[in-house]
Chain A
């Protein structure tokens, strides 16, 4: 089992450009989460998919961020246009659904985004 995979591992772009991050969850995991760690700050929740539906997108910072999970498998997170403050490490995690219990989330290695 490869675990959660993320692509790319690093991305360096200029302010105003567009970047798309991809996450492949563990096979069979209905839950998929995006988190972000900005330098010097805590890891912050962005959004949560259950299959292809957005369960909670309360952490999305603004409308420059668009997340999709077509077909309920992999997910993409697009930032358009990128700003300097978007720099950070973007983590994806996935979990199985277990009723009435907080599920263990398995994290990917992260994508380090640098906006110049």
Chain B
């Protein structure tokens, strides 16, 4: 079964501390993994995708196929990073549909 697991509902850190939001997935094949973010009073938006291998707003995420994980990391959290973060996967090549399968989300709170 296709599934995305985000074990933490809430993650609270102080400004400047490192952040790691965990994401594990279950999928038969080669999925594409994404992190979406929803800031307060804003719409859900793409933060980064694993195939891009880029850093956005200081965040990075590495796909670990052996551990089936796609954890989101940032070395120094900022207050403006406070938001809801969703890990998601899609498997277009296999099923010819690119619907997103989301995790339950992790709320990140960065305190000053």
Q: Which residues of A contact B (CB under 8 A)?
A: 3-4, 31, 33, 35, 41-45, 48, 55-56, 59, 91, 95, 100-110
Contact = CB atoms under 8 A, between A and B. Distances in A.
A100 B51 CA distance: 13
B92 to A, nearest CB: 5
Interface of B: 4, 32, 36, 43-46, 49, 86, 90, 92-93, 95-105
A3 B42 CA distance: 12
Contacts, number: 56
A110 B4 CA distance: 22
Contacts of B93: 100
10 contacts: A42-B102, A42-B103, A43-B44, A48-B99, A55-B96, A56-B95, A100-B93, A102-B90, A104-B49, A107-B45
Contacts of B44: 43, 91, 107
A41 B36 CA distance: 16
